[in-house]
Amino acid sequence: MNQTKTIEKDFQRQKSGYIHSVESCGTVDGPGIRFVIFTQGCPLRCLYCHNPDCRHLEDGKLITVEQLIREIKKYTSYFKSSGGGITITGGEPLMQPEFVQEICQRCQEMGIHTTLDTSGYVQLKVAKQVLDFVDLVLLDIKSFDPKIYHDVTSVSIEPTLEFAKYLKEIKKPAWIRFVLVPNLTDPIPNIQALAQFISTLDNVEKVEVLPFHQMGKYKWEQLGYDYQLKDTNPPSPELIEAVKNIFKSYGLETQ
């Protein structure tokens, strides 16, 4: 292959990435009305994942940043009227840092608010280049107890804690997301320790307690994966309230 073709191929690779799907008018992943991009590929194996079909990069649809930007532009009036923007989620978006950076950079240049939803399980040097173009981070901390974290995700909690501390250091606005799963993530000491840790991060604007649900169950079955939470019920309203009160007792705004 000659040098020009190699450069062209590299350029093309940087400007495209694998996605699972998009949602044009999302309302639950950041402020206002949002264009949500679900990227493909994730290094975690969360027991409660409702997008298990996002696991492998190569199962996604290859799309260029240009194609996405053309779609995003159609919704700018919705973003303006609602205080919304774009959200990149997954999967784990930071598995494709150049792709995600390019989308965020292009959006910021158009005055569109950018949100990144991530597990923080990534090398900091990889994340840094992307975070420069992100207005808000939704950081999923799946547990504070390292054993529970590993039981839930199959990976170590350390990179996520480092990521959280780095967000504080650079004063990046962040919302923390915690999925409440009965008999898994709900031990009180685990939640108290998580709340205590978050209370040291003055960049965090709020904590979202997300109740576990069974909406992804059919996908696990279709894919032939072993779904270990098939007999787990969603948390009761009383448990959700009690957990929210723990976060509030540490001075955290909680939703």
Residues that bind ligand SF4 (CB under 6 A): 42, 44-46, 49, 51, 54, 90-92, 119
Amino acid (1-letter code) at residue 195: A
Least distance to ligand SF4 from the beta carbon of 244, Å?
Answer: 21
Whether cis (ω within 30° of 0) applies to the bond prior to 85 is no
Q: How far is the CB of 87 from ligand SF4 (least distance, A)?
A: 14
Please, are residues 150 and 157 in contact by the beta-carbon 8 Å criterion?
A: yes
> Smaller CB distance to ligand SF4: residue 42 or 134?
42
Instruction: Please give the radius of gyration of the chain, using alpha carbons only, rounded to the nearest integer.
Output: 18
Is the Cβ of residue 38 or residue 79 nearer to ligand SF4 in the bound state?
38
Q: Which is nearer to ligand SF4, 51 or 105 (CB)?
A: 51
Nearest approach, Cβ of residue 234 and ligand SF4 (Å) = 16
Report angle CA 59, 64, 68 to the nearest 5 degrees: 100
Q: How far apart are CA 84 and CA 87, in angstroms?
A: 9
User: CB of 154: closest distance to ligand SF4 in angstroms?
Assistant: 9
Distance CA 145, CA 181 (A): 14
Tokens matching residue 144: 């504070």
> 92 or 135, CB closer to ligand SF4?
92
